[in-house]
Structure 1
Amino acid sequence: MDKERLIDRIEGFLQEAELKPIRIMEVCGTHTQAISKSGIRYLLPNQVKLLSGPGCPVCVTNEAYIDMAIDLISQENVILATFGDMLKVTGSTSCLAEKKTNNVYTVYSPEDAVDLALKHQDKTVIFLAVGFETTAPIIAATIKNVFENGPTNLLFLTSLKRMEPVIRLILNEDKKRIDGLILPGHVAAVLGAEAFRFVTDEFKIPSVVCGFEAKDMAEGIHLLLDQITGRTPLSFANLYDRCVSPGGNKLAQQYINEVFEVKDGIWRGIGKVHNSALMINQKYKRLDATHKFTLSEKMYPESSHCQCSEIILGMKSPFECHLFGEGCTTEHPLGPCMISSEGACAIHYRYGRVHNCLAK
């Protein structure tokens, strides 16, 4: 069944049910893109509200991490290698783009940072390693390879987050706020679908692992609504079994477990989340930039202007921020949710205008 027919079926049985508003969260930033780009968000009945969760790694990177990166630029003979999305994310006072010199390079993978270190062996190259369990395996594999084979002038400043703890935090705070969950497909490919079964088993909320095509998303939403409205029993489902197995990618998990240890992590706009960070363990400590340069991460109070914290927690939609589309645009972003291509505000701003339906 194609996307349009699925949407028609959803609209039909919801009209019959005459239910109160239904709130479904998609955790992954790529899902937010797929839902908006395909038009699904704007085709659903008004009573179905799709909320974006904390699945944008740039958006949840703490201000102190950016401050540490900026501090490193001032160190003698230091080069930073970073993904492009990180350049405009502000720390406590400024961003890398404002401080950018010839010592800051945009890269597309950890391997690019290795190449950069080989070209500049008289410098210390520091790779800003940001992401979730999706990017953690390739970063871990790179750290292991550099540890064993060099180059000796490459270090890593990590801000790697784990998905399960923050999902638990959201569901524990207000179980009634979220009626259904679209689980992060990329992370599930690494960890396995079974890593997220707890959402349904423990919190009694229907949840589904989805792919990223329009039909994948429509099928997932349809399945969740069937359960939320009582048409089918509560269940957990993996609709992305072409890429996600029950147990996940064992080799990727092996790299994560070998190189990193689980610690408490600081999430921008959320604060400290227990056991939510992957940090370089003692064996590979000499490649940790915080160890060599004695850096430490701290929490900052959330800006009273930007409402990214409420948005990534599913408490608000982007258009409910008074700055959205006015003082805050993709051309002049005021917060990380408008900066990153996976940020909910940037996605709503880009595709909401195309569909002429910002108020959805």
Structure 2
Amino acid sequence: MNKKFLIKRFLKEINNYPNGKFNIMEVCGTHTQAISKFGIRELVEPKINLISGPGCPVCVTSEEYIDAAIEILKDDKVVLATFGDMMKVKGSKENLIEQREKGKNIRIIYSPLDSINLAEENKDKEVVFLAVGFETTAPIIALTIKTAKERNIRNISFFIGIKRMEPILHHILSDDKLNIQGLICPGHVASVMGADYFKFIVEEYNIPAVVTGFNELDIIGAIYFLTQEQSKNKKTFKNLYKSCVTSKGNLKGNQIIREVFSYCDSEWRGIGNIGSSGFLLKEDYKYYDAIKKFKISLRKGNSKNCVCSEILLGKKRPINCEFFGRLCTPENPVGPCMVSNEGACSIFYKYNGRIING
């Protein structure tokens, strides 16, 4: 069957869904982008309510993390290395762009391994890498830390802000008020952790779940699968992304994660502290922990500027925020959901900004 025929067939079945409105959440920034890019939300409404969850690692990075990074920069010997989309994320007062304008040494890199080269080129400095992401980036960050140890590079440390997807999904699915009836699992995380990583969604909550890719047929096919599951008493899990996702995932990637990291509680911006949702360096790698090296204490911030916390949990859409498209734009973001190109507000503004701006 050709692609267009399948899409039309699936959409017809979805739009004939008989049981009222159906809430489906996706928790991957790339899925959120694809849903808006292909206009999928408009194709399946009003039968299907597509909800964007906390699938953007930049968006869930807490104010206290940014504040601590700025605190580290008070040491003139520090070179702070970061991914570019972290630059605009505000702490309680400032972001890293403002710090760089004040003369602080901040370098944008494209791979964690670039921080190794930076440390070797600046032996009189201490390179601190802002290690942010989900399980997708955890293996390459772990490899970078292991490489630093093996090469006995002493002037580098890592400020760990990586998050785990399973605990935040438990938090969301345990909230009856959200009424999530189907879940599109993050494909990138699944490629590392394996499809089996997400089976708990069905086994513990009896909510159907699917791993899928990122083109329009992948996503519409996933929505079709989830609607078909609603008539069953016992829901099931499906991996529709077998070209990239195996049941056990990337075995070498998981091995290096287990070697370098253990789990710890972690603060999610606007959501709060989630147990065992963060990564912590194991004892053999503690020397490379920036927080211990710089004796930084994390002080919790309290942003009241926007409704990012409710957007991250799918309780509101970007358009429900009074700042969206007016005071808050990608050029001048108020909250983190507008900062990253994987943030729900940034994506909604890019593809639906005309709703506000006319």
Shared fold, TM over 0.5 = yes
1:19 Cα deviation (Å)? Answer: 3.2
Q: Distance in 1 between matches of 2:191 and 2:259?
A: 19
Q: Distance in 2 between matches of 1:285 and 1:333?
A: 35
Q: C-alpha deviations, 1:45-71, integer Å up to 9, x for none?
A: 323111111110000001111001111
TM-score between both structures, scaled by the size of structure 2: 0.94
Q: Call closer, same or farther: CA 1:102–1:67 in 2, change over 3 Å.
A: closer
SS for the counterpart of 1:25 is strand
Q: How does 1:144-159 map to 2 (within 5 A)?
A: 144-159=146-161
Runs ≥4 residues deviating over 6 A:
none
Q: Distance in 2 between matches of 1:288 and 1:231?
A: 48
Q: C-alpha deviations, 1:98-134, integer Å up to 9, x for none?
A: 1113500110011111111111111001011000110
Q: Corresponding residue for 2:317? A: 317
1:269 Cα deviation (Å)? Answer: 0.5
SS for the counterpart of 2:325 is coil
Q: Distance in 1 between matches of 2:296 and 2:304?
A: 27
1:224 Cα deviation (Å)? Answer: 0.7
Q: Corresponding residue for 1:239? A: 240
Q: Distance in 2 between matches of 1:306 and 1:357?
A: 19
TM-score between both structures, scaled by the size of structure 1: 0.94
Q: Distance in 2 between matches of 1:338 and 1:3?
A: 33
From 207, 212, 215, the equivalent of 1:213 is 215
Identity %: 49
Q: Corresponding residue for 1:286? A: 287
Q: Distance in 1 between matches of 2:337 and 2:242?
A: 30
Q: Corresponding residue for 2:180? A: 178
CA contact (8 A) 1:175 1:203 kept: no
Q: Which one is further off, 75-84 or 9-18?
A: 9-18
CA contact (8 A) 2:25 2:184 kept: yes
CA contact (8 A) 1:259 1:281 kept: yes
Q: Corresponding residue for 1:19? A: 19
CA RMSD of aligned residues (A): 2.0
Q: Distance in 2 between matches of 1:273 and 1:201?
A: 21
Q: Corresponding residue for 2:266? A: 265
CA contact (8 A) 2:15 2:44 kept: no
Q: Which one is further off, 18-27 or 203-212?
A: 18-27
Which residue type is aligned with residue 136 of structure 1? A
1:177 Cα deviation (Å)? Answer: 1.3
1:299 Cα deviation (Å)? Answer: 2.8
Structure 2: segments with no counterpart, 5+ residues: none
Q: Corresponding residue for 1:222? A: 224
Q: Distance in 2 between matches of 1:20 and 1:305?
A: 35
SS for the counterpart of 2:53 is strand
Q: Corresponding residue for 1:142? A: 144
Which residue type is aligned with residue 37 of structure 2? K
Q: Distance in 2 between matches of 1:329 and 1:104?
A: 24
CA contact (8 A) 1:133 1:163 kept: yes
Q: Distance in 2 between matches of 1:14 and 1:151?
A: 56
1:144 Cα deviation (Å)? Answer: 0.6
Equivalenced residue count is 355
Q: How does 1:1-360 map to 2 (within 5 A)?
A: 5-6=5-6, 8-14=8-14, 16-100=16-100, 101=103, 103-174=105-176, 177-228=179-230, 230=231, 234-301=235-302, 303-353=303-353
SS for the counterpart of 2:139 is helix
Q: C-alpha deviations, 1:262-283, integer Å up to 9, x for none?
A: 0111110111101000111111
Which residue type is aligned with residue 285 of structure 2? Y
1:243 Cα deviation (Å)? Answer: 0.8
Q: Call closer, same or farther: CA 1:237–1:106 in 2, change over 3 Å.
A: same
SS for the counterpart of 1:173 is coil
SS for the counterpart of 1:276 is strand
1:250 Cα deviation (Å)? Answer: 1.0
Which residue type is aligned with residue 296 of structure 2? L
CA contact (8 A) 1:3 1:214 kept: no
Which residue type is aligned with residue 156 of structure 1? F
CA contact (8 A) 1:7 1:43 kept: no
Q: Distance in 1 between matches of 2:6 and 2:317?
A: 24
CA contact (8 A) 2:10 2:221 kept: no
1:10 Cα deviation (Å)? Answer: 4.7
Q: Which one is further off, 112-121 or 123-132?
A: 112-121
Q: Which one is further off, 143-152 or 191-200?
A: 143-152
CA contact (8 A) 2:17 2:227 kept: no
Structure 1: segments with no counterpart, 5+ residues: none
SS for the counterpart of 2:54 is strand
SS for the counterpart of 1:273 is strand
